[in-house]
């Protein structure tokens, strides 16, 4: 997902709605927040966004 207010990407699980702000938090499963608690504007990350951040290994699918 992409925070459009501050222009950064963050991870969200479509199945459980858990989110993490960076790779370290995701890999260690720390500092989790829930997608429904987000209080900023966000959109799905594009393929280009994911490539730019080198996060392809985390991508399962893009709708």
- Dist. CA 20–CA 41, nearest whole Å: 16
pLDDT tens-digit readout, 13-37: 988 999 999 999 999 999 999 999 9
Give residue 63's pLDDT band: very low, low, confident or very high (50, 70, 90). Answer: very low
Structure-model confidence comparison of residues 13 and 60, the more confident one: 13
Domain boundaries, the chain: 2-58
Whether the pLDDT of residue 62 is over 70: the answer is no
pTM attached to this predicted model: 0.80
How many angstroms separate the Cα of 12 from the Cα of each of 30, 48, 50?
A: 13, 17, 13
């Amino acid at each position: 997902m992409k925070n459009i207010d501050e222009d950064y990407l963050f991870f969200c699980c479509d199945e459980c709605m858990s989110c993490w702000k960076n790779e370290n938090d995701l890999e260690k499963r720390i500092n989790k927040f829930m997608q429904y608690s987000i209080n900023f504007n966000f959109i799905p990350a594009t393929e280009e966004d994911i490539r730019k951040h080198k996060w392809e290994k985390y991508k399962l699918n893009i709708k």
